[in-house]
Amino acid sequence: MKIYQVDAFTTSVFEGNPAAVVPLDHWFDDSILQSIAAENNLAETAFIVPSDESWELRWFTPTAEVALCGHATLAAAHVLVKHQGCLTNPLVFETRQSGKLSVERLEDGSLSMSFPAIPIVECDYKNDVSKALGATPESVLFGRYSPDQIDYVAIFKSEESVYALNPDFTKFSNLDSRGVIATAPGTSYDFVSRYFAPNFGIDEDPVTGSAHCLLTPYWSQILDKQKMRARQISRRGGDLACSMDKSDRVLLAGHTVDYLVGEIYF
C-alpha cells in the first residue's frame, strides 16, 4: 500500500503537523488499521476509501480511533489532489462520527475545510485541569466531538502564559477527556493555543485542526470577528485561517507540504 506523510498547516517541511495518509481500495480489519497507525507513530494516520463521488475517511492515533481530526483531513485532501490527480472541488469526505466534511482548494494554494462548529460551555473541572497543566487558567470549558469524546478548553490571559505551560502528563489520567486545549489572545495573531492529549497517545499535538472547531466559535464571539488568524504555538508551530460559516460550521484553511512517499508491506 502507498503511504504519504504530509506536513499540514505550514509551507515548510519540518513544521506544522505531520500526518500519514494511506489510500485503500477497501477497508481492512480495524486491528490492521490501528497497527499501521501505531507503527507510523504519528499523531494521526488517515485512511481513505473511495465511495461513489466522495471518500470514506477515518483517523487513528497510535492508540485509538478519533471522532474528528483536522490536520489529517487536510493531508488526505492534499494527497488526493497532488498525488492522485483528483479534480473534484470541493472534495467530500464521509466520516463515521462527524458526518460529511468538505475541503475546497483556494486560489492561494491552501485548502479550506468545512467542519462542524462545536459549542463550548463552562464546567467544574478547573482544579483537575489546573493540576494537569501546572497552571491555573481564568476559566475551563468543554466541547463534545461525539458522545464519548470531549476536550477541555483552558482560557488564559496571555500568549506568554500558554507558551510557558509545562504540563504533568501523569495527571491527565484523572481527566475524562480526549485532551486539553490551552488558549489565549495572541500578540501577532488573533488567538493562540496548545493542545495536550496523552490519554490518546499524544503528549502535545503540533497543530490541531479539530481543536479549532471549538476555538473558532469561542474567539469569534469574544473578539467579535468572523475571520481570524490563529497560531498553535507548539515547538513545530502552525498557522490556520479560521472563520465562521453561518452558525453551525467553521472554515479552517491551511497549506500543506510533502515530506515522504513510501510503501507499506505486511
Amino acid at 96: R
* Other CB atoms within 10 A of residue 104 CB: 15
CA–chain centroid gap for 168, Å, is: 22
Query: In angstroms, rounded to a whole number, what is the distance separating the alpha carbons of residues 244 and 239?
Result: 17
Query: In angstroms, rounded to a whole number, what is the distance separating the alpha carbons of residues 60 and 72?
Result: 10
* Nearest CA-CA partner of 112 in 216, 188, 189, 12: 216
Using CB atoms within 10 Å of the CB of residue 14, give its burial: 0 to 12 exposed, 13 to 18 middle, 19+ buried: exposed
The residues facing 90 across adjacent strands are none
Amino acid at 139: S
**Annotated catalytic residue 159:** no
Look up residue 83 and give its DSSP letter. Answer: T
Query: In angstroms, rounded to a whole number, what is the distance separating the alpha carbons of residues 108 and 244?
Result: 20
Which contiguous run of DSSP H or E holds residue 240?
Answer: strand 238-245
* Cell numbers given for 71: 490536520
* Cell numbers given for 107: 486560489
Which of these is catalytic: 44, 65, 159, 204?
44
Query: In angstroms, rounded to a whole number, what is the distance separating the alpha carbons of residues 202 and 249?
Result: 26
Query: In angstroms, rounded to a whole number, what is the distance separating the alpha carbons of residues 2 and 25?
Result: 11
Active site residues: 44
